[in-house]
A and B are shown apart, each in its own frame.
Chain A
Amino acid sequence: MLMNILIPVAILSVLGFVLALVLGYSADKFKVEKNPKIDELLFVLPGVNCGACGYAGCENYAVNIANSGAPLTLCAVGGPPVAEKIGDIMGVKVSTVDVMVAYVKCNGDCNKSKDKYEYHGLMDCVSASALPGGGAKSCSYGCLGLGTCVKVCDFDAIVIKDGIAIIDENKCTSCGACIKACPKNIIESVPINSRVRVACNSYDSARDAMQNCEVGCIACKKCENTCQFDAIHVNNNLAKIDYAKCTQCNACVEVCPKVTIENILMINKAKRDKTA
């Protein structure tokens, strides 16, 4: 009777003891030396794990900063304050980074552009742009307004107003999710301080662009000729601004016949107020 109790107790105790020994020994032998800086870095990083830095989450970025010498200024969500703190931890002086935001290069809303057909289908830009003609909008380069970018934004920064997407720059953290998600590649990462932007993505010829949209770029080159800083050029029927050279003088904004180029603070202030 007693043996019936003692034997199982003994066997189980021995099993437990052996396992504990193995675990204890291996915990010591397989100890991974963790760089203490990693914990400090994790503390200052935002912890959103958005991947905008190009690494698989904040811990991965911290590990790479501490061990592999990754650039210190890659955190888009944290921005310059976090970059400075990272610099403090690693003992390196960090020069401030230009804050970037995402911008939808299209002003062709329902009032300004037409539809080729009535679209009743999946509320998804990726699916709609696979259709013939690239979606219901007559301009095949334009924003479809079906909201794929809204869905991927973790920060609630995008809304659809009047059929196009508008990004609230106060909330945008430049994580890049919308840029990757947009099938038209119509969202661009711009410096937040560059107020003058071309709100068009269309490479259509002048005649097609005029037919499709009231505010589409017709490549008339008036902007290029007016600009004194060589900051705007028309290629392939579309004007593009070099934000490094642009001085925000607004000359191109005033001369553009189709009101395609906008200074997001001035001319479209009414629209900005709606989204704030």
Chain B
Amino acid sequence: MNILLIFINAMLVNNVVLSRFLGICSFLGVSKKKDAAIGMGLAVTFVMAMASTGSWLVYKFLLEPNGLDYLKTVAFILVIAALVQFVEMFIKKASPTLYEALGIYLPLISTNCAVLGIALLNVQMELSLFGSLVNSVGAALGYFLAIVLMASIREKLDRVSNIPKSFQGLPITLVTATLMAMSFLGFQGLLK
């Protein structure tokens, strides 16, 4: 498949949050402030790129040659968890400023369905190494887009509107997500 098509598909048409429902918990949790959302989005991009590369390599060179396709869930989760842990340690030591910016979100992402989900999808779609990298970065950027949009809306919503008591908190956030998902449905026609 054309690389550009993969990218657009991952970022917009099948947006990881608003269309595939991956990573919702962190999406709802971290989108209260725009700065936090930006930090989270960058962290997810970083982790997804690494995790999908790592899992692709493990699948291609360890599991597939030995016919161990059924072990991919276990293997991927091991690789992802270890990788995130390693990166967190590395960043904490190497660049404290970077750690301040996005390090605190790293543990939150390791058990995020989005990372494991995209890694599994890469295998399912039978993509090459570069293809899965593009797919993962595209998906992560889609997540970044969605979470920053949500944070900007929530900041305004918080300050300005008179929200009915029963809707305050999670319900109004979900209604916002509904409207965002509806607008993202419009991207369906992008790919023939």
Contact = CB atoms under 8 A, between A and B. Distances in A.
A32 B93 contact: yes
Given A26-B89, A27-B89, A32-B93, A12 B71 contact: yes
Interface in A1-27: 7-8, 11-12, 15-16, 19-20, 22-23, 26-27
- The dominant DSSP class at the B interface is helix
Contacts of A124: 159-160
B162 interface: yes
A275 B20 CA distance: 51
Interface string B34-53: 00000000000000000000
Interface string A25-69: 011001110000000000000000000000010001000000000
Interface stretch (B4-12, B79-87, B124-132): B79-87
- The dominant DSSP class at the A interface is helix
A11 B78 contact: no
B contact residues, range: 20 to 34
Interface in A49-92: 56, 60
A189 interface: no
Given A23-B85, A26-B86, A32-B93, A11 B62 contact: yes
Interface in B86-124: 86, 89-90, 92-94, 100
Contact of B75 (A15, A123, A151): A15
Contact of A11 (B66, B79, B86, B159): B66
A contact residues, range: 20 to 34
Contact of A19 (B78, B89, B158, B162): B78
Contact of B68 (A8, A30, A32, A123): A8
Contacts of A248: none
29 contacts: A8-B68, A8-B71, A11-B62, A11-B68, A12-B71, A15-B58, A15-B62, A15-B75, A15-B79, A20-B82, A22-B82, A22-B86, A23-B82, A23-B85, A26-B86, A26-B90, A30-B89, A30-B90, A30-B92, A30-B93, A30-B94, A32-B93, A56-B100, A60-B100, A122-B160, A124-B159, A124-B160, A127-B160, A151-B159
